[in-house]
Structure 1
């Protein structure tokens, strides 16, 4: 990648082609990746394998649309890139169509001799109208604490 922001269209392209190899190639060999439920992978191979499984099982035929990236340079050789995303085409464990989702990706990139490479990434779901999650005997659910005004 020639610029840090290039990670966003490259991610979108790899995802929409269900290309786990191309997706993993965006990352350093020793990169970290935290997904929306807190699964944490510690190298390019694990990132590739997890996404390959996802493309075959959870997201076959899915489409992700990435928004304009926000880039924060950290000196000359590091940057944080964030982008909102919208996803359609996920399927349930029973094989039924799931509803659309939205979230925010955060990538941390480092400039190396071959160009920019992601050294870590975190993917976060957006829970509309919620401020946090609450765990209870019934499971985890998004909640809102502030009183709502009309």
Structure 2
């Protein structure tokens, strides 16, 4: 899959990452990354290269995330160089279950992606996934209400 996709913009790359994650195919997820690409879980577990990324997701995609849907709720990009971009993609996950099969409440977080432009468009080279803690969820809601201020306080 790594050589069969075209992502003309960083936002298209984000859409592809979410689409592939939601497909439940860990091999396709790993194939998005170069041989030295990195994915770090919300709990700080690093995976390096397509094989580790695929294997690191295989069990959870077939288990607790089998019915989960990951929705991208906001994307911000910052160009670092002509062929390098920083991406922050906020997400909401619904449908996850605990190992005992009980439903888990919706989760929120963000992916920070460093992407590089190559012959097939934009590709993630580093992805750091993080989940928002409960108090931050409230701040994030206030940020949305306050028009983007991260602390929910009107600017002077």
TM-score bucket (shorter structure): 0.7 to 0.9
Distance in 1 separating the partners of 2:26 and 2:8: 21
Q: Which has the higher strand share?
A: 1
Distance in 2 separating the partners of 1:42 and 1:67: 26
Which of structure 1's runs of 4+ aligned residues deviate more than 4 A?
A: none
Q: Is the Cα–Cα contact under 8 Å of residues 88 and 100 in structure 1 kept in the other structure?
A: yes
Report SS of the residue matched to 2:34. strand
**Post-superposition offset of 1:55:** 0.6
Q: Is the Cα–Cα contact under 8 Å of residues 66 and 85 in structure 1 kept in the other structure?
A: yes
Q: Is the Cα–Cα contact under 8 Å of residues 64 and 96 in structure 2 kept in the other structure?
A: yes
- C-alpha RMSD over aligned residues: 1.5
Q: Does 1:43 pair with 2:49?
A: yes
Stretches of structure 1 lacking an aligned partner (at least 5 in a row): 131-150
- Hey, what does 1:114 align to over in structure 2? 120
Distance in 1 separating the partners of 2:56 and 2:63: 10
- Alignment partner of 1:8 out of 11, 14, 18: 14
Distance in 2 separating the partners of 1:61 and 1:6: 24
Report SS of the residue matched to 2:20. helix
- Alignment partner of 1:21 out of 27, 37, 54: 27
- Hey, what does 2:82 align to over in structure 1? 76
Q: Deviations over 1:20-78 (max 9, x none)?
A: 22222221121011100010011111001111221112201111110231111111010
Q: Which has the higher helix share?
A: 2
Q: Is the Cα–Cα contact under 8 Å of residues 73 and 91 in structure 2 kept in the other structure?
A: yes
Distance in 2 separating the partners of 1:103 and 1:88: 12
Q: How many residues align?
A: 131
